Each structure stands twice: as structure tokens, then as C-alpha cells.
């Protein structure tokens, strides 16, 4: 959905770059990997070694690009991935724990361990 000024709405995502996630839906269901980057405008994430597409590129000598078929990761919708808890090893929904000083930490819904370093 676009806002009044034409830019797309940003989505609040519960996962961060570097998190280990498991794909729960789509052609790569069951695979897991590390998040390389997040696009919060399209609500997608790029996961390492998951969602591989083939890209046909032309050679460009000025940019030092060789032509051919290149395999690279494509974006996956955020709703199709779940965070893997580092302590219990299960894929889990993300909960929040509020500390006494008022700061919020992401936590595992199974074992209540913190997901943040």
C-alpha cells in the first residue's frame, strides 16, 4: 500500500540481518541459512543459499563483468521464514522481553532465551 506522498509503506519486521532462519513455505521449505539483507519496503529478505535464481547477464568490459548465466539469491517474503533460536535450536516466533531499565530484547517463545547478542 502506498502512502499519500507515493512512497511505499515500510513494514516492521522482527528479524535482523545476520539471524539464522528456516524457510517454512515455498519451493525451498525446510532449508535454513543466514539473512544477508532485508528490504522492508517490499517486505522481503535474502537468505544465504536459499531462493537461488538464474540471471542472464551480458558482458560489459568497461565494468569488468563477464557474461553468462549467474546464480544468485532472490528475495523471500518475511512471512515465509522463522528465526532459529541459538540456545534451543528450534525455529520460533519472536517474542519481546522488557528489561527493568525499559529496553526491549527479542526472545525465543519456546525457551525464553534472548535472540540479541
**Position 88 pLDDT exceeds 80:** yes
**Domains, the chain, with CATH or none:** 8-84 (2.30.30.30), 88-117 (no CATH)
Backbone angles phi and psi of 10, in degrees to 5: -85, 140
pLDDT at 2: 66
The torsion defined by the Cα of 30, 35, 38 and 44, in degrees rounded to 10, comes to -10
pLDDT at 43: 92
- Rounded to the nearest integer, the mean pLDDT of the chain is 92
**Position 12 pLDDT exceeds 90:** no
pLDDT at 47: 97
Q: What percent of the chain has pLDDT over 70?
A: 97
Q: For residue 35, what is its C-alpha cell?
A: 539473512
The DSSP line for 8-54 is BPPP--S--TT-EEEE-SSTTTT-EEEEEEEETTTTEEEETTSSEEE
Amino acid at each position: 500500500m502506498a502512502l499519500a506522498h507515493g512512497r511505499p509503506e515500510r513494514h516492521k519486521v522482527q528479524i535482523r540481518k545476520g539471524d539464522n532462519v528456516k524457510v517454512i513455505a515455498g519451493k525451498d521449505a525446510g532449508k535454513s541459512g543466514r539473512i544477508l539483507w532485508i528490504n522492508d519496503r517490499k517486505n522481503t529478505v535474502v537468505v544465504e543459499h536459499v531462493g537461488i535464481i538464474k540471471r542472464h547477464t551480458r558482458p560489459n568490459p568497461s565494468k569488468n563483468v563477464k557474461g553468462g548465466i549467474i546464480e544468485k539469491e532472490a528475495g523471500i517474503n518475511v512471512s515465509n521464514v522463522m528465526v532459529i533460536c541459538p540456545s534451543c535450536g528450534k525455529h520460533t516466533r519472536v517474542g519481546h522481553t522488557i528489561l527493568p531499565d525499559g529496553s526491549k530484547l527479542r526472545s525465543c517463545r519456546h525457551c525464553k532465551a534472548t535472540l540479541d547478542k
